[in-house]
Amino acid sequence: MLVLITYDVNTETAAGKKRLRKAAKICVDYGQRVQNSVFECSLDPVQLCVVRDKLLKVINTSTDSLRIYNLGSSYKSKIEHYGAKETYLPEDDMIF
């Protein structure tokens, strides 16, 4: 299933900047960055629980926010893309 993970971390302090880097590293392990703090991830239910738990351990819920949108398996009809970055399909092979 396709999951959209977004976060907003308060970076006014050094600790906030560290949380931002940690959140990004976690999300990169599970998906593709499509904007600065927005990731498209192809996850099964267990992976979703794992990534959610990891992120909730990193962010400070009193100053930061985390949003997770489950777009499901028929996500292609739910996404419109306009602009500079090329579109990709999360189930396609990724070359590093």
This prediction has a pTM of 0.80
Q: In what order do the strands lie in the sheet with 31-35?
A: 31-35, 38-42, 2-8, 65-72
> How do beta strands 31-35 and 65-72 pair?
unpaired
Q: How far apart are CA 2 and CA 36, in angstroms?
A: 18
Q: pLDDT tens for residues 37-77?
A: 999 999 999 999 999 999 999 999 999 999 999 987 766 66
**What Rg, from alpha-carbon coordinates, does the chain have?**
14
Q: pLDDT tens for residues 18-37?
A: 999 999 999 999 999 999 99
**Structural domain spans, the chain:** 2-72
**DSSP run (H or E) holding 42:** strand 38-42
The yes or no reply on domain 2-72 and CATH 3.30.70.240 is yes
